[in-house]
Structure 1
Amino acid sequence: MAINPWEVDDMRKHSAWIIELLLHLLFPARGRHRSADAPPTPELPDTPTLAIPRVPVEQRLLRGEDVAFLRPYVLTPQERQERRLQRGRRRALWLATDGIEAGPRWIHGMGVGC
């Protein structure tokens, strides 16, 4: 419930609660519930670490014959033509959803006008 003329809740109460919570987490407790000293940690004998032998793996060297020289993004002229035609078909379908006819200009040897 807002108690000020700007109709904004009083945040001092919430801020004090958050700060109090953080102080309880960061600083130790006071009074009789506080532990005097931490219990000593037990001494553990040093145990040797287990060394696992490495399994030899056959390492193949890279050979020049195994590496393709052509970059994967370089297209042949046929691939470029196929992608251009596919892009045109997709554009025609996209425009058809809005009612715009942008299909082929020639159908069975006859010129088609839009």
Structure 2
Amino acid sequence: MLDLTVRFLAWVLWLCTPPPRGRHRLGIRTSSLAPPPPRHTERLDGAASALVRPYVLTPDERRRQRERRRAVYLATPGIDVGPHPHLIHGGVR
């Protein structure tokens, strides 16, 4: 009885699942296929790349970035800072 149940379940699964596709499907040997070609065959030239990382900032660039970040942080509660805090929207106070 167990054998009939297993066969029935195998038959139902065979009906419900799609047939396997691709190179590794069951029952088919594909040993005549050539292996895929290598993806990267040439070597990279280290001398052609820049030695300075683009994200490394000079001290002056770092200071200006810190000033901009501080101005944005203080602008959220409404505090106006910058090189000319007395000039608001182009007008003189």
Structure with larger RCO (C-alpha < 8 A, sep 6+): 2
Report if TM-score (shorter chain) is over 0.5. Answer: no
Greater C-alpha radius of gyration: 1
